[in-house]
């Protein structure tokens, strides 16, 4: 008998989830992002740093808050998916309610 367990893997990485969340919530804090994604704040800070250093997001300080912007014209990083732009990924992850 199989017990109900949380999944051991998902189709979208935490980097993709953070990027998607930031694109819809550009003034979110790392804590808000971490809570939504289900990772630690420390992990979220690392992912944000990765995305920023690769040019996928830009961080601007307004007062005490960070405001993020996503570059939708960059290609995905995997060598087999460089023909797909970030905007295509984000569009596919956006649910219409």
Q: What's the CA gap between 80 and 26, in Å, rounded?
A: 29
The one-digit pLDDT tens for each residue of the chain (97 residues) are 455 676 788 899 999 999 999 999 999 999 999 999 999 999 999 999 999 999 999 999 999 999 999 999 999 999 999 999 999 999 998 876 5
Ordered by start, the domain boundaries in the chain are 14-93
Q: What pLDDT was estimated at residue 22?
A: 97
Q: Cβ distance 70 to 56 under 8 Å? A: yes
Q: What pLDDT was estimated at residue 59?
A: 96
Fold of 14-93: Arc Repressor Mutant, subunit A (1.10.10)
**47 vs 4, 24, 34, 40, CA distance in Å?**
29, 17, 10, 11
Q: What pLDDT was estimated at residue 8?
A: 81
Question: What is the pTM assigned to this prediction?
Answer: 0.86
Q: Cβ distance 48 to 59 under 8 Å? A: yes
Q: What pLDDT was estimated at residue 17?
A: 96
Three-class SS of 50-86: HHHHCCCEEEEEECCEEEEEECCCCECCCCCCCCCEH
Q: What pLDDT was estimated at residue 38?
A: 95
């Amino acid at each position: 008998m199989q017990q109900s367990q949380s999944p051991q893997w998902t189709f979208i990485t935490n980097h993709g989830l953070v990027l998607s969340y930031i694109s819809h919530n550009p003034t979110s804090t790392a804590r808000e992002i971490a809570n939504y994604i289900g990772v630690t704040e420390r992990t979220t800070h690392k992912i944000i740093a990765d995305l920023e250093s690769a040019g996928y997001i830009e961080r601007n300080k307004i007062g005490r808050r960070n405001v993020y912007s996503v570059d939708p014209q960059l290609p995905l990083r995997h060598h087999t998916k460089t023909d797909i732009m970030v905007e295509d990924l984000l569009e596919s992850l956006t649910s219409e309610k």
